[in-house]
A and B are shown apart, each in its own frame.
Chain A
Amino acid sequence: MRAALLLFLLALLARGQTNPLAGDAAAIDVGKGNFRLYCAPCHGIHAQGGRGPDLTRGNFSAGNTDTDLFRVISAGVQGTDMTGYGERFDDQMIWRLVAFIRSAARVTPEMIAGDPAHGRAIFQGKGGCAACHATTAGPPQIGPSLDRVGRQRSLQYLREKLLDPNQSITPGYSTVAVKLPDGRTLRGIEIAFDDFSSQFMDVNRQFHSFRKEEAASIEREPTSLMPSDYGRRLTPSEQTDIVAYLSTLRGAQ
C-alpha cells in the first residue's frame, strides 16, 4: 500500500500535477455528489455560480491548470469567501472535484451585454454606488469591496443583488440596529452578533460595541444597508450597464 502511494505521488510529480482522475466517469460522478454538498451553496447546483464564481466558463480567477484548481480547493483563496478544504478532503476527493468541475465547463461562455463604460459612470454618479463600495484594491469602504467582483460573482447574482439586496445578504454584511435607552437608533454593518453583545461599524466607519443590557434592544435586521430601489431608480439598460461594468472588475490579472 505504502509503495503504491509513493508511486502514485511520484507519478503526480512526473506529470506536472495534472489530475490523475481527469475524465474518469466514476470520479466525475462522485465529484458531482461532493460538489453539490460542499460547493453548490456558493457556486450553484450546476456550478453556474451565485455568491461564488461561475465555474462553467472554463476560465478561473485563481488559475486555469489542474494544479491551480487543486490548490484553490485545498488552500482557498485569500481575501475571498473561498476557504480551504485541505483539512477535510483528501487528495483523491479534491481530484474528483476537479474532474467534475472540468466536466461542467460549457462550450460557449456566457456573453455579457451592456456598456461597461456607461455602467461605470452610473456607478460613480447617478447610482451613488461608489459612496459605499471600493472598486480598486486597498482599504474597503463600508460595503463589500468590488475590485474582484467580476471574478467572484455570476452575472445573474450581480443583477439580483443590484435589484434586491435583501434577497440574500453577503455574509459579514448583515445590518445591526441598536436602540439606545434615550430612544436613538444606531445602525451598522455587523462585525459580530450573539445572544449577549454585538459589534458593528456604522456608515461613518466608526466601531461600536454594545452589551445586551446597555441597549433597549439589539437586533439583526433582515435588510441590507444597501438601497433596495435601484429597480426604480435605474432604467433596465442602466442596470445592465452596471452589471457589465461590475463584470470587468477582475482585480490584478
Chain B
Amino acid sequence: MKTFLLLLTAVLLLKSGDETSWTTYGKNYAGWRYSELTQINPGTLSRLAPKWIFQTRAPSGMETTPLIQDGIMYVTGTSNHAWAIDLKSGKALWHYSKTPKKPLDLCCGEVNRGFAIAGDRLFKVNIEDTLVALDRLSGRVLWEVELGDYRKGYSGTVAPLVVRNLVVVGTAGAEFGIRGFVDAYDAATGKRVWRFYTIPMPGEPGGETWGSSAGASPNLRGGGSTWITGTYDPELNLIYWGTGNPGPDMNGDVRPGDNLYTCSLVALDADTGKLKWHFQFTPHDVHDWDAIGDPVLVDLKINGAVRKAVVQANRNGHYYALDRTNGKLLFVKPYTKVSWTKDFSADGRPVLVPGQEPREEGTLACPGLGGGHNWNATTYSPRTGWHYFSSEDGCHMFYRTEQQFVEGQWYQLSTVDWVKGEANKKSVVAVDASTGQVQWRRELAATPSGGMLSTASDLLFYGDSAGNLVALNARTGEPRWHFPTGSAISAPPVTYEFEGKQYISVASGNLVITFALID
C-alpha cells in the first residue's frame, strides 16, 4: 500500500513541478497541498521563526495562496492589490493595484484567493469580476476581460487554474441572483474559449429542475457560484469544480425542484467545457451548503480495487468519495453532527428528515450555515492517506425571509442565529480518504480559519482566528508549535525550498510572514 502511495505521489507531484516552487492554488493539480520537504520537522520545529515580514499596507483579510517560482513570491491582497516579493529579502519587486468599481454588492468583503501562473504570465481575478493577466516581471497589465457584470451582483474572488494554454476561472455572487459559470480563457490573448453555465435555462438539460411557475426566467436567480478553485486530472482531461448554493439561499419556494447544478461537483472536459458528469450533494438546498470544499483527487484502494476518486468534505456535513471517471458514489459518511438526513440512496441522494427547512420563526438544523466544513483550503497527505480540514461542529437557527428580487441586490431571504446555550465547536478533523472514517478530531478554542498544509514530516500547519500559525502532529492532532502573528489568519500556509532551506509562508491580516529555521 505504501509503495503504491509513494508511486502515486511521484506521478501527481511531477505534474506541478518540484519542491522549490508552489505554482498552483492546491500545490498540485490534485489539490493536495502536501510537500515532501522535511527540514522543518518535529525535531527542528523549536527553531522555526520569522525570517521576514512583508507589510502590504492594504486592507486586512488576505485569503491568498502565495505562489512561489524562481526566487519570487506572488501574492494577491484584498481590494485588487497584488505584489511580487523577493524571497531573499522580503522586498516588493512590484505592486499592482486597481481601484475597485463601486457600488459593489459583496457577501464577504473585497477578498482574493491568489494568482495562477503560466510561463511569464500571472492571472488573477479582480473583485468587480474581471480576469487580469500580468507580466510576471513587471506586474504590467497584459489584458483584462470581464467575467460577469458587477452591477448585477457578480464578483471575483477565486484563484484561477491554469490548464495548458487555458486559464480556468469561476465567479462569486450567488447571494445576488447571478447565473454561475466556469470559464476558460486563452492565456495569451484573454479570449474566452468556453463557458459552462452551472444554471441551465428552461429547455436545456437540467433546466426542468427549477420549476416552471415562477415567472419567465426563474433560473436567472440561479446562484451556483464557483468561488473556490477546482482540480484537474490530466489523464482524463477533466476539470472538477464545486458549485455554490441556489438563489435565494433559504427560501426555496420560487425554485421548486433539485436546482441543478447547484451544490454539485461538475466534471468538465478541459478542451471544450462540456459537462462529462455531475453529482449533486444537496438537491434543492435551503441551508446555503455550497459544495465548494476542495475537490481532492486521490486514487483509493476500496475493497481491493484501486479507484480513481475525487473526495470532498461537503458543507452539508458529509464526506463523499466519488469515482472521478463517471461521478458515481463510492461512499458517503457524516464527519460532524447532522440533523437533516436519515439515509442515502445507492446513488448518493439524501433521504431527508422532514421539517428541516428554514421557517419565519426559525428552524434548528445541523450543521450550521458555514457547514461542517466551509471553503477553507484542505490538505491530503499520501503518507497517512488522510484528508485534513477545518470543521465547525454544531447547529444554527435558520430563519426564512420574504423579499422581492431586485437585480444585483442581496437575495438570500434568510438569516441564522446561534442556538441559545449551545456553542458550536471548532475543530481540525482528519478523515481517512479511503473510508470516510474520522481518524481524529481536535477541538479548538480558536477557529482554524486559514486553510491547511501537510508535509512529509507528518506535520499539519494552519492559521487560526486568534492569529496563531499552528503545527500539529498529523498522525495524532497534538500541537507541536505555534507562532502568534497578531491578526486572524484567513489564508493557507505554503512551503517551499529556496537556496537549500525550507520556508513556510502565510498571509496574516495584511502581512505576509515567511518562516525558516533559525541557526
Q: Is B109 an interface residue (CB 8 A)?
A: yes
Least Cβ–Cβ distance between A30 and chain B, in angstroms: 5
A33 touches B468 (CB 8 A): no
Given contacts A40-B417, A45-B415, A167-B421, contact A220 B102 (CB under 8 A): no
Closest residue on chain A to residue B362 by CB atoms: A45
Bound together, the chains give a CA A196 to CA B469 distance in angstroms of: 11
Q: Is A26 an interface residue (CB 8 A)?
A: yes
Closest residue on chain B to residue A44 by CB atoms: B417
Interface segment out of the listed B82-90, B127-135, B336-344, B398-406: B398-406
Contacts of B464 in A (CB 8 A): 194-195
A36 touches B468 (CB 8 A): no
Given contacts A167-B421, A168-B420, A194-B466, contact A90 B413 (CB under 8 A): no
Closest residue on chain B to residue A164 by CB atoms: B421
Interface size bracket, B side: 35 or more
Bound together, the chains give a CA A33 to CA B406 distance in angstroms of: 12
A195 touches B444 (CB 8 A): yes
Interface residues of B in 451-472 (CB under 8 A from A): 464, 466-468, 470
Beta-carbon contacts of A183-212 to B below 8 Å, as 1s and 0s?
000000000111110000000000000000
A167 touches B420 (CB 8 A): yes
Beta-carbon contacts of B405-437 to A below 8 Å, as 1s and 0s?
010011111110110110100000000000000
A36 touches B479 (CB 8 A): no
B404 touches A29 (CB 8 A): yes
Given contacts A90-B103, A194-B468, contact A30 B417 (CB under 8 A): no
Contacts of B414 in A (CB 8 A): 36-37
Contacts of B59 in A (CB 8 A): 87
Q: Is A93 an interface residue (CB 8 A)?
A: yes
Bound together, the chains give a CA A193 to CA B414 distance in angstroms of: 31
Query: CB < 8 Å: which of A33, A90, A167 contacts B102?
Result: A90
Contacts of A92 in B (CB 8 A): 103
Q: Is A120 an interface residue (CB 8 A)?
A: no
A29 touches B403 (CB 8 A): yes
In this complex, the member of B404, B406, B415 whose beta carbon has the largest number of chain A beta carbons within 10 angstroms is B415
Interface residues of B in 99-126 (CB under 8 A from A): 102-106, 109
Contacts of B466 in A (CB 8 A): 192, 194-195
Bound together, the chains give a CA A30 to CA B177 distance in angstroms of: 13
Contacts of B444 in A (CB 8 A): 195
Interface size bracket, A side: 20 to 34
Contacts of A45 in B (CB 8 A): 362, 399, 415, 417
Bound together, the chains give a CA A37 to CA B103 distance in angstroms of: 19
Q: Is B482 an interface residue (CB 8 A)?
A: yes
Contacts of B415 in A (CB 8 A): 36-37, 40, 45
In this complex, the member of A36, A93, A193 whose beta carbon has the largest number of chain B beta carbons within 10 angstroms is A36
Bound together, the chains give a CA A92 to CA B104 distance in angstroms of: 10
Bound together, the chains give a CA A214 to CA B132 distance in angstroms of: 51
Bound together, the chains give a CA A167 to CA B362 distance in angstroms of: 18
Bound together, the chains give a CA A142 to CA B206 distance in angstroms of: 60
In this complex, the member of A87, A93, A167, A196 whose beta carbon has the largest number of chain B beta carbons within 10 angstroms is A196
Given contacts A26-B404, A37-B410, contact A195 B420 (CB under 8 A): no
Contacts of B236 in A (CB 8 A): none
Beta-carbon contacts of A154-179 to B below 8 Å, as 1s and 0s?
00000000000011100000000000
B445 touches A193 (CB 8 A): yes
Interface residues of A in 51-81 (CB under 8 A from B): none
Q: A36-B399, A196-B482 are in contact. List 4 more A-B contacts (CB 8 A).
A: A26-B406, A29-B403, A90-B104, A195-B482
Closest 5 CB pairs of A and B: A194-B466, A36-B415, A90-B103, A194-B446, A33-B403
